Structure 1
């Protein structure tokens, strides 16, 4: 999916009008419409603001990542990445166990 389609879809999912999103970004709604139609692309600062308002990563917004990660999950992952390697490995072991359990449950 392209940038404009992602922005448009997320905006609609969150119930935000083009006018409201444009206002929050400090731009005219016609400019936002051009972003959504992929006629032009925003500056990195505007793209960051869009990602923040729509509560997604910039990677997701630009189509680099297929999985939408909310800010809460992202901040937790960043915190874990600061841990000592041994502690990080313990956390990953627990996560791996839950993932394996879910996979087994989905097969049954």
Structure 2
């Protein structure tokens, strides 16, 4: 498992944040982030909470206690989820890692589509459409 300093850097890069931007979000300079990522300093507990919130991960994940980003997700007893768990359990470690990467890709793709749809719906071109055309989308 990764240490805090490595997790922080990985999460920051995943979100495409610079050290400066993350520092601004936490109300301090980029040097603080650089010091966290090098292992020279550790954040306070309130700052750890803020960092976990920014990256939408648990404190355990952020601190490297475990590799579970969201431990408090709602239980899912659906047939589909049970099938998924059955298949997942049968995969090799490498295949599981590939599946997780693919799932992350799907989430990223969905997020990009959501952003594109939000941008599209708010564009000035929509103003020229009739109500019927607009609602059809």
Regarding TM over 0.5, the answer is yes
Give the whole-Å Cα distance in 2 for the aligned partners of 1:101 and 1:32: 40
Structure 2 unaligned spans of 5+: 93-137
Question: SS in structure 1 opposite 2:64?
Answer: coil
Q: What stretches of structure 1 move > 4 A for 4+ residues in a row?
A: 92-98
Task: Count how many residue pairs are aligned between Structure 1 and Structure 2.
Answer: 91
Per-residue displacement from partner, 1:23-76 (whole Å, max 9, x unpaired)?
Answer: 00011110111011111100000011011101111110000111222xxx73x4
Higher radius of gyration, 1 or 2: 2
Partner of 1:49: 50
Partner of 2:8: 7
TM-score (normalised: structure 2):
0.56
Give the whole-Å Cα distance in 2 for the aligned partners of 1:17 and 1:27: 13
Partner of 2:19: 18
Higher relative contact order (CA 8 A, sep 6+): 1
Structure 1 unaligned spans of 5+: 81-89
Give the whole-Å Cα distance in 1 for the aligned partners of 2:82 and 2:67: 20
